[in-house]
Amino acid sequence: MLSSFRAVCTRIAVAILLVGIVGVESATAQTEPRFGIGFQMMASSIEDNVGPGIRFRVSAPINRDLSVSVGSAFTGYVFEGQDEATYALDPTASLIVTLPVMGGRGTYFLGGVGAYVPLGETAPEAAPFFHFGFGRVWLLRDTSVFFEIDPALVIGESSSNILFPVRVGVIF
């Protein structure tokens, strides 16, 4: 039963990702996409560790309050030394709801689907996840600075796990 649930979750994740990609194409006709790069610290109950990473994201507005985005991060769980280090990717597709910006600062909520993709021979298998988080953005002249927390529930073969990334970065 868990295997069929995981297959359904994976199909839903792929469908939402495809809808997100189509949404990016149609939204770019209205305005230009925005690119973001940031650093993250991610706690993982899969790895039972915390690791630094780098995140890339592209988003495109659907309207003034709603955007669609796709992105990925590369995280290294390296604090236990080189011999015990593990690495992972976490591609995501998200919807972002932005509350009205006042005084050059704004709050947003993001949610969607993704996959936890461990790298290496001893790593656990890849698994889909659902994420929902929030962030703050500070508008500058041509760029913006952001801070976000975006926890995820990873649906594994035999158990569920939590990812807890905290990110800071720049949007161009």
d(CA 90, CA 49): 16
Residues 6+ positions from 8 with CB-CB distance below 8 Å: none
Encode pLDDT of 53-110 as tens digits: 999 999 999 998 999 999 999 999 999 888 888 999 999 999 999 999 899 999 999 9
Tell me the three state secondary structure of residue 46.
Answer: coil
What digits encode the pLDDT tens for the residues 32-60?
899 999 999 999 998 889 999 999 999 99
Q: Residue 17 in contact with residue 40, Cβ under 8 Å?
A: no
> 73 and 89 in contact (C-beta within 8 Å)?
yes
pTM over 0.75: yes
* Contact yes or no for 14/145 (Cβ under 8 A): no
